Structure 1
Amino acid sequence: MKAFIIDRYKSTDGLRAAEVPVPELRDNDVLVQIHAAGVNPIDGKIKDGEFKRILPYRLPLILGNDLAGVVVRVGPQVHRFTPGDEVYARPDKDRIGTFAEFIAVSEDDLAAKPQSLTMEQAASLPMVALTAWQALVERANVRPGQKVLIHAGSGGVGTVAIQLAKHLGATVATTTSTANVELVKGLGADVVVDYKKEDFATILHDYDVVLDPLGGETLEKSLRVLRPGGTVIGIAGPPDPDFAQEIGASWFVRLAMTLLSYRIKKQARRRQVTYSFLFMKASGNELRKITTLVDAGTIRPVVDKVFPYESTKDALAYVQTGRTQGKVVVTMR
């Protein structure tokens, strides 16, 4: 089958097209013919080796973390899916590879595709929607009347998180550039801070939750807008000891993550708030809940551009510019 792979990290060649075997199925696996694949910033970070200590992939590696497609074959222990079913998923972190014609996915990580969406729209959702769900529903337990700040509201995670936070009953603020103000207002943002004109840390205060996909200075300044007892959830890092324990990291990696997160955790304690790092997990069960919201019209995908499969390398380069509105997708058909 056709696939886009990397042979080594930080290679000047980057992604390359290759012919590889169709994956074999485990007992609980579903073989999916991929019709469309979402492109995410993490794909570029994996390619550049930024996650090699916590995601020790064996090279060569097929890239890609989002898919929508059709079931071709199922393992003997699969009960929820049959050939012909339209599905979507974010495969488990250890079994990525959606920039390809086929992929084997655990039944537990798969869900029926929202009926209201095209394959391209569906492929744009799993990773960002699961990230928003796990941050706002599971980690932060956002409740009606709370105030939530979502940075980079026009990005992949931001466009879904704004809609989900509104559904949960929160007052939602977001940061974005001048060109995207109307987009995020249309998604439901109550307060929009144009970062090119204003400093969010001087405008916003007494927030319960901050979702930060940017890190760095933005993460540190986010502590200032929280009320005592509030929490900032970072998806760009730094990773923390809880995450190290979650993935069963070695003592060396645990120590490294403790040191990396020490400064921000200390700053958070001084302000009587908390910082936690979120690395999204695959979950078919959560995707089914998201599907219900999508088909009800509560959450709609925002797709910036759709590239043909042959231009997957260009699609990833475009995502790495950091200027996308919503998601970028490659289509196999």
Structure 2
Amino acid sequence: MKAAILEKYQKQSPKLVIQDVNLPNVGPHQVLIKTLAAGVNPLDLLIARGQFKLVIPYPLPLIMGNEVVGEVIQVGKQVTKFKVGERVYARLPLDRIGAFAEKVMIEESALAKVPEYLTNEEAATVPLTALTAMQAFQLMDVKKGGRLFISGGTGSFGAMAIPLAKEKGLSVITNGSGRNKDRVMKLGVDQFINYQTTDYSQVLSNVDYVIDTLGGPETQKQFGILKKGGRLVSLRGMPNHDFAVRTGMPAWKRLLFGAAGWRLDRLAAKNNQRYYFMNVHEDGDQLTQVSQMLEKTQLHPKVDRCYPFTKVNDALAHIAGGHLQGKTVLTFEE
């Protein structure tokens, strides 16, 4: 089979090479799928640039890609939830990624069935963003009726996080470009702030929960809108000691990330707030819950642009350009 492989890290314009690779035998709890589509994410760009090495030191060469949609073509002897011919999707295990390939081997526990109404391209937008939202809610222990601010929630993450938050009974606030207001309001947003005319930090206060998608100085800024005892999950901030402990990292990384996240932890502690950095992991049960929500709402996730598998480097360049209006997707055709 052919796969898109990272041979070396490159900080500027990383390139993948499409090569033939061998596929290992299917294990007892594994499922082999023929890839139909794969999501392309900023995370893929971080990995290719070598900016993720301290979190997960992937050995090179590496088959890239974190989320996949495919058709089951073989199941292990002890697989019970899936059968040949079914359409499934997954966020691949953190330590065994490889969605940018014609076939992918995945543990049964990472998989969920794709809602029938979704196209392959739409389904490819779901696993990583939806599981990120679900696991952020879990970390913050969100309660029905709470107020949630998602910074920069007009992209592919917000498109999944907003309806999932509404399903949990949260009041949702987000900010972004005014041209995206109508689209996110239809997803259920209770308050939209146009960043071109209004600084969210000047109009928001006593928010229960924040999901920070921006990082940098915006992470610190968002503590100012949290209530005392509020909780903030950052997808782009600095890893901290709590993150290193939760993910089972060795002592030296706990010290390293403890120092890296010290300022944010100290800032949170001033008002008894909590700061979390997170890395989304595979979870077929959570993804099944997402599928049930999608079947109920018939939501069509936003696809920004599709590229054929052979144009994977163009897809990565598109991600690097920013200003995305949804998920970038690779398509796999016969």
State the AA in 2 paired with 1:212.
Answer: D
Paired residues, number = 332
1:231-310 counterparts in 2 under 5 A? Answer: 231-297=231-297, 299-310=299-310
Counterpart for residue 22 of structure 2: 21
Determine the structure 1 residue equivalent to 2:41.
40
- State whether residues 23 and 102 of structure 1, in contact with CA within 8 Å, keep that contact through their aligned partners in structure 2: no
Which residue of 2 is the match for residue 194 of structure 1?
A: 194
Structure 1 residue 68 corresponds to structure 2 residue 88? no
**Matched-pair contact (CA < 8 Å) for 1:142–1:165:** no
Q: Is the 8 A contact 1:150 1:210 kept in 2?
A: yes
Look up the equivalent residue of 2:71 and give its one-letter code. Answer: V
Q: CA deviation at 1:13?
A: 5.5
Q: 1:49 and 2:50 equivalent?
A: yes
Q: Which moved more, 1:295-304 or 1:261-270?
A: 295-304
For the 8 Å contact 1:167–1:298, the answer to whether it is kept is no
- The answer to whether structure 1 residue 110 and structure 2 residue 111 are counterparts is yes
Residue 129 of structure 1 and its aligned partner are, at CA, apart by: 0.3
CA contact (8 A) 2:14 2:49 kept: no
- Any conservation in 2 of the 1:116–1:294 contact (CA below 8 Å)? no
Q: Secondary structure at the match of 1:257?
A: helix
The residue type paired with residue 25 of structure 1 is V
TM-score of the pair, normalised by structure 1: 0.96
Q: State the partner residue of 2:177.
A: 177
| 1:160 corresponds to 2:160 | yes
Q: Secondary structure at the match of 1:78?
A: coil
Deviation of residue 196 (structure 1)? 2.1
Deviates more, 1:75-84 or 1:59-68: 75-84
* 1:124 to partner: Cα distance: 1.0
Q: Distance in 2 between matches of 1:290 and 1:185?
A: 20
Cα RMSD, aligned residues only: 1.4
Change in Cα spacing, 1:226 to 1:269, as seen in structure 2 (3 Å) is same
Map 1:118-133 onto structure 2 (within 5 A): 118-133=119-134
| DSSP-derived class of the 1:264 partner | helix
Task: Determine what percentage of the aligned residue pairs are the same residue.
Answer: 38
- The residue aligned with 1:217 is 217
Partner of 1:91: 92
One-letter amino acid of the counterpart of residue 5, structure 2: I
1-structure distance, mates of 2:254, 2:107: 28
**How many angstroms does 1:50 deviate by?**
0.9
Q: Is the Cα–Cα contact under 8 Å of residues 308 and 332 in structure 1 kept in the other structure? A: yes
Greater alpha carbon shift after TM alignment, 175-184 vs 278-287: 175-184
SS in 2 for 1:172: strand
Structure 1: unaligned runs, 5 residues or longer: none
CA distance in structure 2 between the aligned counterparts of 1:119 and 1:13, rounded to whole angstroms: 26
On the 8 A contact 1:37/1:99 being kept in 2, the answer is yes
Q: Which amino acid is 1:227 matched to? A: K
Give, in angstroms, the shift of residue 240 of structure 1. 1.6
Structure 2 portions without partners, runs of 5+: none
CA contact (8 A) 2:110 2:283 kept: yes
Structure 1 residue 252: Cα displacement: 2.0
Hey, what's the Cα distance between the residues in 1 that align with 2:27 and 2:243? 28
Is the 1:32–1:72 Cα contact (8 Å) retained in structure 2?
yes
CA contact (8 A) 1:37 1:68 kept: yes
- C-alpha distance after superposition, 1:132-186 (max 9, x if no partner): 11112x1223233211101111122111111111222222110112332222122
Aligned residue type for 2:131: L
Q: How far has the Cα of 1:306 moved from its partner?
A: 1.5
Measured in 2, the distance between the counterparts of 1:227 and 1:155 equals: 26
Counterpart for residue 81 of structure 1: 82
C-alpha displacement at 1:267, in angstroms?
0.7
Where does structure 1 differ by over 6 angstroms across 4 or more consecutive aligned residues? none
1:250 CA drift (Å): 2.4
Identify the residue that residue 208 of structure 1 maps to in structure 2.
208
Alpha-carbon displacement from aligned partner over 1:177-231 (angstroms, at most 9, x marks no partner): 2332222122111111122222111111110000012111111010010111111
Q: Please list the CA deviations of residues 42-83 of structure 1 after superposition, one character each: whole Å capped at 9, or x if unmatched.
A: 000000011112211111101101111101111122111121
